[in-house]
Amino acid sequence: MAPDEAEVTFAKGLEDVIVAKSRITYIDGEIGKLVYLGIPIEEMAKHSTFEETAYLLGHGALPTRQQLDEYSRTLVANRALPDTLLNMMKLFPPTALPMDVLRTAVSALGMLDPNPKDSSKEQNQLRSARLIAQFPTIVAAFARMRQGLEPVAPRADLGHAANFLYMLFGQAPDEFTARVMDVALVLHADHEMNASTFASLVTGSTLSDMYSAITTGVGTLKGPLHGGANEAVVAMLQEIGTVENAEPYVLNALKTKKKIMGFGHRVYHAYDPRARIFKEYARELSQRKNDMTWFQIGEKIEEVMIREVGRKGIFPNVDFYSGIVYHHLGIPTDLYTPIFAIARVAGWIAHVMEYWEDNRIFRPASIYTGPKEAPYVPIEKR
């Protein structure tokens, strides 16, 4: 029986409601701490690669050199898309939203799985590698298709991040650019029980297949309250235009209760550690491009926001400076969220696989607010 509204309280949006145990990612929002399997995100960003990060999340430990080499070879071997999927994607309208394309492509991959009825752990590990490897290929292929260009085939001699940029632009990136992209993927790879991870778990908990669970994650990440915030940051920077306009814009926004995009977080009440890392790359990229305008606007916004509302625990989150980074990498704005998905698929998969170790279908309750009893009125009398 559903609980009565007068008898219980509830956590809207499941805020602070514990829904699972996990060993994968830990966040201390009061001090701005994020760790993957106990390793601080700052260390991962400094020393690791996305391939190593994906292995860590999925296997519960850092790989040996041999394990990492083998895992990387598996990813490389699975980068190419099936011809059936490529031909299907060519039928999509060029005006299609890239996240819609990614969602549909992932769902289609489920129909192209060579062993769809095999739900063993071994097969799901193969599916995991296939999905992680093919997300960048899907995004880059459609980005070119919508311009009337042929997709660029993946290169086996490039790392995960560098190969994505190569497939997107048709030329291999320099070492620094590839490293920036790699770090961006590391920073976005997982973030505990966020909306898209939880949504993936809900689907996975029914013992549906991996593709369905990950398709759910993509669909959830698409929402502007989750994955699309860095696109909104870019739009805000464009609207502000100059450093001189930044403080008046922020003060007016606070006065009229207009949200400043890229600030505040449901979990963090301190500076998002990922934002600190993105900020330094945004600074260096801006210097290298000899274009400091957006970065200086961003710093001014940050200064005013911390002065005005920092005492409330509102600080920059991961989206604030990542938009500037992607802008200087030359990435189209509507690909920012798909890039988020390229990274986060590793986290979704790790959480789904972990949850399946001790699975229980999600079946929450709701508070009924309708009438307790009402007569049926025949249609001719309504």
The catalytically annotated residue of 160, 188, 191, 265 is 265
Residues whose CB falls within 8 Å of the CB of residue 189, separated by 6 or more in sequence, listed in order: 36, 50, 53, 54, 57, 343, 344, 346, 347
Active site residue 47: no
The catalytically annotated residue of 28, 59, 100, 226 is 226
Active site residue 59: no
Active site residue 188: no
d(CA 85, CA 325): 31
Residues whose CB falls within 8 Å of the CB of residue 84, separated by 6 or more in sequence, listed in order: 108, 112
Residues assigned a catalytic role: 226, 265, 319
